[in-house]
Amino acid sequence: MAMFLLLLIIGLTGLLAFILGPIKVLRNIISLIGAIGGLLYFVFKIRPGQAYALNIKIYNVHFGTGMSALSIFFGIILLGLFLIFLIASFHEDNDGAYYMFSFFSLLGALGVLFAKDLISFFFFFETMSLFSFLIVLKGNGETSHRSAFKYVMWSAFGAYAFLLGTFLKVNYTHSVMITDISYLGGNIKLWILILLLTPFMVKTALMPFHLWAPGAYTDSKDTYTVFLSGGLSKIGVFGYFIALFNVFSQIAVLYPWLLKVFAYIGAITASLAGIYAFMQDDAKKLLAYSSISQLGYVAVGFGVYSHFSVVAALFHALGHAVFESLLFLVVAGVYYRTKTHDLRKMGGLIKKMPLSFIGLLFGIIATSGIPPTIGFPSKWLLYEAIILKNDLFLVSLVFFASITAFLYSYKLIHSIFLGKLHKEHEHIKEAPFGYGFGIVVLLIPLFVLGTNPGIVVKPIDYIVRFYLKPDLAYNLTNMTTPLGHVNFPAIGITMTLLFTLSFIIYLIFGKSYRAAQEDNYTATEWIDKDFGLHYGGEFYGFMRKAFGKPLTWSFEKILNACLKVVSFLGEIARGFYMGDARVYLFYIILFFAIIVYIMGGKL
């Protein structure tokens, strides 16, 4: 019953937040108590192995809920990030409905983690999607309605695929429970697996199912994007694991090519999304593509399908929750002060917002997979696993994706915090407490788990070794694979010392000349002090010129072209309908005449 009590706490808190909507202080206090209470209850009361079954005898249907170590792993991520988002959201102008939708989206996500049958899984998954759609609809962007429509359409596509997969599974196994289908004959099990995987690929924005994500992440409220990207996307990762290990445990034996395709889709997603990221001038859209790119690494880990590649995938999912949430939170705080997401209208904020700068700095270091941050252990493990597969092209794609991460990370930090301070930002201050609190909290696991990965690898290994033969040796601070060994604190200290030494050398021997912008004696006209001239004004513009049209290609344009063809054919078909009953009668007679002719004159 502990699971139901937790859902009850979350649901009642959402309803109370809605009822108390006009009373802002009381609403915030109740929301905070509910979020903290839910997190504490989950940590101290929920244990693996807890289960509850419900039998409906009319249709002889069995529903079940239960907790596994995997559910607890993702549950802590969801509840922790929700609390961070909630505290920051108190600085925004939100109503009671917003908080009710937020709590109900959390309720749906937790319900997915508890579900042991496909019907309950579908119900909670769609509950999560519905209320997150409503929040995107209430977003602060001019295109929020369009983005929300895309989101709900892609969610519906995934939902119908899941329902069809559930129908086939029930038809062939006579059970709605999440059980193995590897024993089924023929290729029906392959189609069931693909259909059940589809909504999870949509939720993690794996290409080409990513078209909803840039708009939804950009147009939703800034603080909610922290939870939408860092938290709710993990339900897709959870779904990967359930589909590939609980539903189809023999996939590596029966369909190894499918795993390879899945790994390549992940690598292509990581690479292409990285390219689109460094081409963006909107900070949130850049981070949206960054989020898509980083989740591509997770798909690669599942596709490689070795013990420590799956460990790396789950570790990177946690890392993504930490550093991507941190980046979105910093950008939310910057927007709170500057009222813009446009990177071309920012710059020079390092002295005005030092804590936000530190958060963004280490967030992009983790995104790039550099020690001593949480991004390094997972990427190191993933590279090791791919190399052991002897797939040079896959290694090259993933390595290229890492290069794009450096590019868009540098653009983000330079455009916001370096360069020239704009005149209208000369008097702004650091982001308020709610943002600063989240930044500090997220920096803790970013460093602690980057230097002591064994804290997380141990429970992840406990989950994965039940399905795959373990080939990873580790302790709190070290890891050993068949290819190599790493001491994470040692490499972290080494990188820190090298950076510090380089900075000291620069301070002592570096020569620079600070010139005022008006000091332009070679120019042909006078330039205003606030005229944007620094590099952030047209970041990577030379790449747009060098690559030209290929950078304008996108899955969305291909899909729109297909829609235009369908629309054109529809217009032609509509021409046959004249609105005259005599014409319709003629069509009916013609139809029957053709049928009679085909059947040789016999009906």
Asked if the model's pLDDT at residue 58 lies above 50, the reply is no
Residue 55 lies in a domain: yes
Task: Using the predicted structure, report yes or no on whether residue 508 has a pLDDT greater than 50.
Answer: yes
**Does residue 542 lie in a domain region?**
no
For 603, the token pair is: 């009906």
Categorize the per-residue pLDDT at 562 as very low, low, confident or very high, splitting at 50, 70 and 90.
Answer: confident
- For 101-113, how does the pLDDT look when each residue is reduced to its tens digit (9 = 90+)? 999 999 999 999 9
Q: How many other β-carbons are positioned within 10 Å of the β-carbon of residue 61?
A: 15
Last residue of a domain, one of 454, 479, 510: 510
Q: Is residue 297 part of a domain?
A: no
Bigger pLDDT: 171 or 53?
A: 171
Give the Cα separation of 272 and 74 in Å (integer).
27
Say if residue 328 is in the same domain as residue 469.
yes
The stretch 278-284 carries a mean pLDDT of 88
Residue 519 has pLDDT above 60, yes or no: no
Quick: pLDDT tens for 362-372: 999 999 889 99
Q: How far apart are CA 81 and CA 212, in angstroms?
A: 22
Is residue 300 in a domain? Answer: no
Q: What is the pLDDT of residue 514?
A: 65
Task: For residue 506, give Cα distances in angstroms to 266, 350, 501, 539.
Answer: 40, 19, 9, 25
DSSP per position, 254-317: H-HHHHHHHHHHHHHHHHHHHHHHHT-SBHHHHHHHHHHHHHHHHHHHHHH--HHHHHHHHHHH
| 399-426 mean pLDDT | 87
Mean per-residue pLDDT, 498-502: 89
Cβ burial, residue 52 (10 Å; 0-12/13-18/19+): middle
Mean pLDDT of 114-124: 88
Looking at the structure, do residues 474 and 563 belong to the same domain, yes or no?
no
Residue 131 lies in a domain: yes
- Examine the domain organization and report whether 117 and 215 are in the same domain: yes
* Highest-confidence segment of 86-100, 546-560, 568-582: 86-100
Q: How many domains does the chain have?
A: 3
Q: What is the mean pLDDT of residues 78-100?
A: 91
For residue 140, pLDDT beyond 80? no
- Is the same domain home to 506 and 583? no
Residues 73 and 139 in one domain: yes
Instruction: Indicate whether 498 and 582 sit together in one domain.
Output: no
Final residue in a domain of this structure, among 200, 219, 242: 242
Q: CA geometry: angle at 405 spanning 399 and 411, to 5°?
A: 145
Question: What tokens appear for 382 in the block?
Answer: 């993933």
- Among the candidates 452, 487, 510, a domain finishes at 510
Do 489 and 567 share a structural domain? no
- What contacts 492, CB < 8 A, 6 or more positions away? 371, 372, 376, 450, 451
pLDDT tens for residues 418-457?
878 888 888 899 999 999 999 999 999 999 999 999 999 9
Model pLDDT for residues 349-397, shown as the tens digit of each residue: 888 999 999 999 999 999 988 999 999 999 999 999 999 888 889 999 9
- Examine residue 195 and state whether it is found in any structural domain, yes or no: no
Give residue 585's domain range.
Answer: 554-598
Q: What is the mean pLDDT of the chain?
A: 85
Q: Which two tokens stand for residue 148?
A: 């929300």
What would the mean pLDDT of 459-465 be, rounded to a whole number?
90
Paired strand residues for 478: 487
* Same domain as 504, residue 402: yes
Name the residue with higher pLDDT: 289 or 588: 289
In a shared domain, residues 477 and 400: yes
CA distance 24 to 47: 35
Q: Are residues 44 and 138 in the same domain?
A: yes
- Is residue 319, in this structure, part of any structural domain at all? yes
Give yes or no for residue 269 having a pLDDT over 90. yes
57 pLDDT above the threshold of 60: no
- 464 and 403 together in one domain: yes
Examine residue 145 and state whether it is found in any structural domain, yes or no: yes
Same domain, 487 and 564: no
